[in-house]
Amino acid sequence: MDLTYTDAQKAFRDEVRAFLDERLPRRLSDKVAGGKRLTKADYEEWHAILNDKGWLGVTWPKEHGGTGWDAVERHIFEEETTRANAPRIVPFGLNMLGPVLMKFGSEAQKAHYLPRILDGTDWWCQGYSEPGAGSDLASLKTTADRDGDHYVVNGQKTWTTLGQYADKIFCLVRTSKEGKPQQGISFLLIDMDSPGVTVRPIVLIDGEAEVNEVFFDNVRVPVENLVGEENKGWTYAKYLLTHERTNIAGVGFSQAVLANLKRIAGLEMQDGRPLIENALFAAKVAQVEIDLMAMATTNLRVVAAAAAGQAPGAESSMLKIKGTVIRQELNHLTRRAVGPYALPFVSEALEDGSNAEPAGPDYAMPAVQSYFNNRKLSIYGGSNEVQRQIISKAILEL
Amino acid sequence: MNFELTEERRMLQDGLRRYLRDTVTPALIDAATEDASGHSDILWQGLAEMGVIGALFSEDDGGFGGAGFDLAVVFEEMGRAGAFEPLIESGILAGGLIAALGTGDQKALLEDVIAGGSILTLAHGEPGSRYDLAHVETQAVAGDGGHTLNGRKAVVVGAPAADRAIVSARVSGGVRDGDGISLFLVPLDADGIEMRTYPLNGGGRAAELTLTDVRVAEDARIGPEGGAFDALEAAHARASAAQCAEALGLMESIRELTVGYLQTRKQFGQPIGKFQALQHRMADMLIEIEQARSATINLAGHLDAPRAERERHVSAAKNLIGRASKLVVEESIQMHGGIGMTMEYALGHLAKRLTMVDHRFGDTDWHLERFIRLSAA
């Protein structure tokens, strides 16, 4: 038992810190810290800086231009970049499609797509959920019918995060109605500028259009865009979902939110004293801080097991549930902390270079937006109820 | 970073788990409960022979362990078995205080403690002290080459099994001052000690002590005159870590019982574990037990940290363990139904013992408030 990093791991952490000091643009970290909107160009700028260093393919092996880091090194990198308020790495190409192509894609697909993910040529989005297929993903209805050397795709995807920026979408489509629903699904790569593709933004309760609906109307897709075998897409989709999802516990995010919460509660005055000195409020903050301290160690225990070669199974379901409960509670307390200034919503003030002043303190609006936006945490990536089913089956064998 | 036990600790864990599984039978628990001492001499000697008491002491003090993770291994297994020997009292509290503060002559007693020949306890809490370690009303008046003790000590766990107690008493200052507390090693059959013993919820026995003009010699004082508080606090940090680990072991046993019950108990034509309402409750319980394990690891790994950091981890762990214990007890009984409420089934004893964890060394709310104070400092 040793709760500290090895000397080599400490040296690596120092290297990451030095890199962030030197290369993370202040303009970007200020936006992240201040809860401002990040543009496509902002994400691309940060991706390019990481790629220049060889640190963009965090989960990728070296042979494909990745870092080759083990689980502990990835954890350190995530912890440090989160702490430094770096923009997140957009996960769709890098953490989702990339590993699937490496495992199931053809040589031609790997050679063509993987470098374009790293150098930013392609921005990918994810076409999984449909209006009628959420937690029950296998019930999806978007069809791909074979017509010569093309598939003809018809249907609708939804909750497509940052689809408005995407050049390409990886989709689960139905290629057969035979057998169980899981058996007729294929994994298809589609150009977003193909004729028949329409994107419609969805405004969420935080006032932002982060997600979209994507419609497919007789979209013709070359057969070489099929990944792996026809009707085996469910296997690849599950691999994507259970593939070591990095940072599922969100410990670094929670630590950053906790620090921000304490800062805000130290500035907000209630009955003549800083809110953080109110016994009831302080107790709520302390309670979630204690949970987070334990969660950080729970996370490290899973990380250490992964670094030792054990594939995390249902443990990641436990991390997801507890991690999202903690983040949501922190978001809740931060919203409560800002008081009456939780009410104003001045959307323009979130824009880069806008002259619009927020009403009240500048931390108020992002606090409320994060609260609304992060309701998603317990819904996406397999809702927390689905995670409980996984635990129940895989660990408890009920 | 490494969460694996060392080879030696794994051997201790395996050996202790096997030994306790074979030894701590319902018959032994009943016999220990019936006995006036509130413990099992057979089990105590067995633990001593296995080196379990020695694992709580450093090599310098005649043991072969004493680190936070040694405590964690031992007490997780004690909890898993539902055992209730005065191991925290004799090994960690009283024995630990002698190891921390004692002179060479005083430390000679530790050999007998580690060998199982002598059982010690700490008589510190008082009827009005609740969880405040600085609250000492018992008076020690110096004179005639020693001290005279007068006062009352409350819920002295293990006293009926012990031959000697370390008694805390005030030599100066106000009732709640940290300064001014001295410790004295006193034979429990000394003149002037009246002991009222009683059984405890969750197993074992304790006593209320009344001290009336109890004379102790100068060499009975453990540590500096009036300066025992820091060592008392450090010993209670170690006792808290042991208590958290014991709670974790209790939780693990309760989890096994409950999952087994969900798999086998049939209602409405199927195992009740097939019902989603119960599956989700069980999954949540499992998550909190993993959190309890992490909190215990955090505390065990910080027992040698500077005081402020150590105590912050004490309060974090005790708060989390307190909440998790309540959840595990209440949910396991609920998921078992009526059988979970009987003392005829193993859950009853484990659940009671786990409930009592929150009544030693500070409860959930007390530690939450303390965590806030320690974090603000």
Instruction: Indicate the burial class of A75 (C-beta count within 10 angstroms; 0-12, 13-18, 19 or more).
Output: buried
The H helix count followed by the E strand count for chain A is 13, 10
In a domain, residue B290? The reply is yes
| Residue of chain B with shortest Cα separation from A308 | B2
Cβ of residue B6 closer than 8 Å to a chain A Cβ = yes
Which H helix or E strand runs over A190?
Answer: strand A185-191
Tokens coding A175? 């290629």
| CATH (domain of B286) | 1.20.140.10
Angle at the Cα of A365 from the Cα atoms of A362 and A370, rounded to 5 degrees: 125
Whether residue A244 is predicted with pLDDT greater than 80 in this model: the reply is no
pLDDT value of residue A358 = 83
Q: Summarize pLDDT for A168-200 with one digit per residue, the tens.
A: 999 999 999 999 999 999 999 999 999 999 999
Residues β-bridged to residue A273: A270
Please report the ipTM that was assigned to this predicted complex.
Answer: 0.92
Domain boundary among B88, B115, B142: B115
Place A350 in a pLDDT band, splitting at 50, 70 and 90. confident
Q: For residue A1, how many other CB atoms are within 10 A of its CB? A: 17
Q: Do B193 and B213 have their domain in common?
A: yes
Copy the structure tokens of residue B215: 């004379």
If one counts every other C-beta atom within 10 angstroms of the C-beta of residue A328, the result is 20
B2 contacts in chain A (CB < 8 Å): 1-2, 304
Interface of A with B in 194-213 (CB under 8 A): none
Q: Are residues B46 and B135 in the same domain?
A: no
A-chain residue closest to B271, CA distance? A398
* pLDDT 10s digits, A42-98: 999 999 999 999 999 999 999 999 999 988 899 899 989 998 999 999 999 999 999
* B1 assigned to some structural domain: no
Instruction: Answer yes or no: do B131 and B198 share one domain.
Output: yes
pLDDT at A357: 83
Whether B109 and B127 share a structural domain: no
Assess whether B270 and B185 both reside in one domain: no
How do the domains of chain A map onto residue ranges?
7-89, 123-231, 248-394
Cα gap A98→A114, rounded to integer Å? 6
Choosing from B205, B226, B247, the residue where a domain stops is: B226
* B369 and A CB contact within 8 Å: yes
Q: Which pair of tokens denotes residue B115?
A: 């060998």
Distance, CA of A248 to CA of A322 (rounded, Å): 10
Residues B319 and B241 in one domain: yes
Question: What are the helix (H) ranges across chain B?
Answer: 7-23, 26-34, 41-50, 68-81, 87, 95-101, 104-107, 109-115, 229-264, 276-300, 307-336, 346-356, 364-376
Interchain CB contact of B371 with A (< 8 Å): yes
Q: One digit per residue, pLDDT tens: chain B, 377 residues? A: 789 999 999 999 999 999 999 999 999 999 999 999 999 999 999 999 999 999 999 999 999 999 999 999 999 999 999 999 999 999 999 999 999 999 999 999 999 999 999 999 999 999 999 999 999 999 999 998 999 999 999 999 999 999 999 999 999 999 999 999 999 999 999 999 999 999 999 999 999 999 999 999 999 999 999 999 999 999 999 999 999 999 999 999 999 999 999 999 999 999 999 999 999 999 999 999 999 999 999 999 999 999 999 999 999 999 999 999 999 999 999 999 999 999 999 999 999 999 999 999 999 999 999 999 999 87
Gap from A390 CA to chain B (nearest CA, Å)? 9
Confidence bin at A246 (pLDDT 50/70/90): low
* Whether B238 and B350 share a structural domain: yes
Question: Which of B9, B69, B320 has its CB closest to that of A294?
Answer: B320
Q: Are residues B219 and B248 in the same domain?
A: no
A170 beta partners: A126, A189
Give the best residue of A297, A299, A329, A393 to mutate against chain B (max B CB count within 10 A).
A297
C-beta atoms surrounding A307 within 10 Å: 18
Q: Is residue B314 a part of any domain in this protein? A: yes
Domain that holds residue B192: 120-226
The rounded distance, in Å, linking the Cα atoms of B283 and B255 is 10
CB contact under 8 A, B1 and A305: no
- From B100's Cα to the closest Cα of chain A, the distance in A is 24
Tokens of B246: 């014991």
Distance from C-alpha of A227 to C-alpha of B261, rounded to nearest angstrom: 45
- Please check whether residues B259 and B160 belong to one and the same domain: no
Residues B216 and B311 in one domain: no
pLDDT value, residue A242:
65
Pairing of strands A269-270, A273-274: antiparallel
Contacts of B280 in chain A (CB under 8 A): 385, 388, 392
* Of residues B69, B77, B175, the one with CA closest to residue B127: B175
* Total domain count, chain B: 3
> Of chain A residues 147-166, which have a CB less than 8 A from chain B?
none
Among the listed residues A131, A157, A133, the one whose alpha carbon sits nearest the alpha carbon of residue A144 = A157
Instruction: Please indicate whether residue A244 is annotated as part of the active site.
Output: yes
Q: Is A282 on the interface with B (CB under 8 A)?
A: yes
Q: pLDDT over 90 for what percent of chain A?
A: 80
Task: Give the separation between CA A11 and CA B227, rounded to whole angstroms.
Answer: 43
Q: How far is the first Cα of chain A from the last one, in angstroms, to the nearest whole number?
A: 32
Indicate the residue of A3, A283, A295 with minimum beta-carbon distance to B368: A283
* pLDDT in the model for residue A243: 61
pLDDT of amino acid A238: 85
Mean pLDDT is lowest, of A115-119, A260-264, A306-310, B324-328, for: A306-310
Selecting among A15, A244, A329, A357, the annotated active-site residue is: A244
B105 and B134 both lie in a single domain: no
Q: Is any Cβ of chain A less than 8 angstroms from the Cβ of B8?
A: no
Using a CB–CB cutoff of 8 Å, tell me whether B301 touches chain A.
Answer: yes
Q: Is residue B23 part of a domain?
A: yes
One-letter amino acid at A41 equals A
Q: Which CATH superfamily is domain A123-231 in?
A: Butyryl-CoA Dehydrogenase, subunit A, domain 2 (2.40.110.10)
In a domain, B2, yes or no: no
| Neighbour-count burial of B235, counting CB atoms closer than 10 A to its CB (0-12 exposed, 13-18 middle, 19+ buried) | buried
Asked if the C-beta of B372 comes within 8 angstroms of chain A's C-beta atoms, the answer is: yes
- Return the CATH number of A248-394, one of 1.20.140.10, 3.30.565.10, 3.30.70.1560, 2.60.40.1120: 1.20.140.10
Among B191, B226, B261, identify where a domain stops: B226
Mean pLDDT, to the nearest integer, of A318-323? Answer: 94
